[in-house]
Chains A and B, each alone.
Chain A
Amino acid sequence: MSKELIRLVNCSMAFDGELVLDNMNLYFNDSEFLTLLGPSGCGKTTTLRIIGGFITPTSGEVLFDGVRMNDIPPHLRQVNTVFQRYALFPHLNVFENVAFGLRIGRTEEKEVNGKKKKVKVRIPQDEIRQRVLEMLEVVSLKGFENRRITELSGGQQQRVAIARALVNRPKVLLLDEPLGALDLRLRKDMQSELKRIQQQMGITFIYVTHDQEEALAMSDTIVVMDQGKIQQIGTPEDIYNEPKNAFVADFIGESNILDGIMHEDYVVEFFNRKFKCLDKGFAPMEPVDVVIRPEDIDIVPMEKGQLRGTVTSVTFKGVHYDTIVDFKGFKWLIQTTDYHPVGETIGIILNPDDIHIMHKSQYSGMFGDYSSYSEEYEEMDDVTMLDEEEEDGPREDGHEE
């Protein structure tokens, strides 16, 4: 059972009357890799700065181990931060940068002759040396002790920043887009490096990024944020497979998002057809958003498809082709390994587990760029039933089962 370390209770933050964080409720567990994921400006850094103690929330509480910490300054908090642009001390070498926190020592409450006193605890020189060297080894920077900061590459500076924070043995490490300034290759290396370090040290990482791939690859828990609000909390698999609303579906991976109507449990209607799905618990005839991931769609010969469409563009992406298919004016993105030339009419099959249903939200209709409304839709017939024949034109197959 993992222990809860930090909790934000109804935290709001406003700058000049503008609400940046809107009633955040969030807790962080011991030894967890938690990622705050969201577009730029959604309040990720602000959340991190509240936890680090650099700003105080306008309302709400910050609890560490159940104790209110709102007004405790950063230097008295047991968290350390890896800053977005490293913030290494340019006047100190690598060793002294890492040793910075250790040389300061901590003030601790101690009983001296029965009285409580604040005592400055200094760490002995040889222990400092040993811990710094140990930590430099953890971040693979052994032998760099005497280098100047300016003599290091971006990736090396990044490691120094991590070592400088971790050497203080914080319970929680805050990382604000730590890989943002690195090139793709280095970023991938550092991702697994960070994950390794987190597991090796067994501490909590609160990681901020706007890169969904990074979040999916590294996290135990992802918190998706937008406009100062939490949109969804869950494991990477949850977030990807069961997005809560159109924003999450669109932000995490690519999605075709359609308007649909939930007829009853396990039956959804879109495109004037009923499809079987695995979702339940919606009100009868509730309007919903339907998410279909581009890679889940199977292309079949047109006569075998449940729906038929025309390929309007094909882009080679290495592993697959991004195929845009027009279904009577709705453009879907389909990712396949097979090449289908522009102009070809194809059919598709949607299995129940390829269809994901979400409640309508403020984000409905804003995403799913590949489907665009067309007048043809209005002219289409009324709802056809599951096992009924075609909407228009001859079609032999195309049944749900």
Chain B
Amino acid sequence: MKNKRSLFAVPYIVWMAFLVVIPIIIMVVYAFTTGATDGSLGAFTLDNFTSMGSYTVVFTRSFKLALIATAVCLLIGYPISYMIAKEGPRFQRVAMVLIMLPMWINFLLRTYSWMSILENNGLLNQIFRSIGLIDLYNSIAIHFAADPSAYQPITYFQMMGTSGAVVLGMVYNYLPFMILPIYSVIVKLDHSLVEAAHDLGANNLCVFRKVIFPLSLPGVLSGITMVFVPSVSTFAISRLLGGGNQMLLGDLIELQFTGGAYNPHLGAAIAMVMMVIVVVCMWVMNHFGEGEEQAVML
């Protein structure tokens, strides 16, 4: 029995070794070595880590925006998941398809289309202009200008290149990863627990607070993980929607491998630090959640 089981595990172990463990080892080796021109391993060094100080701003921005995006996803995603789970089975199926639908479209294509929506002459600004929002802004802003005669009226709202646009891109792309785990936990929740709580005197709000929410925490935790991790390491979203002003860790790492600043050793070091921070975050979060429910796996 035991032998049979370990036999089945072989492909998995091979998979893990080749595609997970070995790349991580290579990354760690790169992070602690200097560059060598002839392709052999360089000497041991910590320079890659000490030189990272100049990128603190990218680190903080990455974590800040990922955190905001995760929070927004949670605030939007939880109520949506909850409402879908309360509906009938047919509504649920349709809703799930609608939520998954954007994920079938190429990631870059989706993000490019946001560019054409957010651009200075994009869809949103055209709408703002046609409903007079921009004129309204100008007529108000001119009163607050220091020198009204020198006031330059705007012709569009600057949305591209802002951190808001980057967060928007993250939320749009990763929201399904928040909704799906929360939805699947709530929909599986034993309805007799809700009835039991009602029976013991709890009104709807109280049932939610004391039963439904605590029991949906595993879904919330995996939702947070599944949104936060890709958000913190994304590179395309920030480059396309951030317009070069919003460089994130992902962009920084990419630059070290493909850009003019070619330095895979520094790139590996940054990736390693990022990974350590993320793992620590997730570990802390899962342990915090363990008091309420069994921890969710990463």
Report which A residues bind B (CB closer than 8 A): 52-54, 73-75, 79-81, 83-85, 87-91, 100-101, 104-106, 164-165, 168
Contacts and interface: CB of A to CB of B under 8 A. Distances in A.
14 contacts: A54-B195, A54-B198, A73-B198, A79-B199, A83-B192, A84-B192, A87-B190, A90-B215, A91-B215, A100-B197, A100-B210, A101-B200, A104-B201, A104-B210
A53 B203 CA distance: 13
Contact of A89 (B198, B203, B206, B211): B211
Contact of B292 (A74, A84, A88, A91): A91
Given A80-B199, A83-B195, A91-B215, 4 more contacts: A74-B198, A74-B199, A104-B206, A165-B199
A75 B208 CA distance: 14
B200 A100 contact: yes
Q: Describe B's contact surface by its main secondary structure.
A: helix
Interface of B: 190, 192-193, 195-203, 206, 210-211, 214-215, 292-293
Contact of B199 (A75, A88, A89, A91): A75
Q: Which of B193, B195, B199, B201 has the most CB of A within 10 A?
A: B199
Closest 7 CB pairs of A and B: A101-B200, A87-B192, A87-B196, A74-B198, A104-B201, A81-B199, A91-B214
Contacts of A165: 199-200
A322 to B, nearest CB: 40
A91 B293 contact: yes
A52 B192 contact: no
Nearest to B197: A100
Contacts of A87: 190, 192-193, 195-196
Nearest to A84: B192
A52 B195 CA distance: 10
A104 B195 contact: no
A106 B201 contact: yes
Contacts of A75: 198-203
Highest count of chain B CB atoms <10 Å: which of A53, A101, A106: A101
A75 B202 CA distance: 6
A81 B203 contact: no
A80 B198 CA distance: 10
Interface centre among B190, B200, B210, B293 (most CB of A within 10 A): B200
B201 A168 contact: yes
Contact of B202 (A79, A83, A84, A104): A104
Contacts of A79: 199
A39 B199 CA distance: 26
Nearest to A106: B201
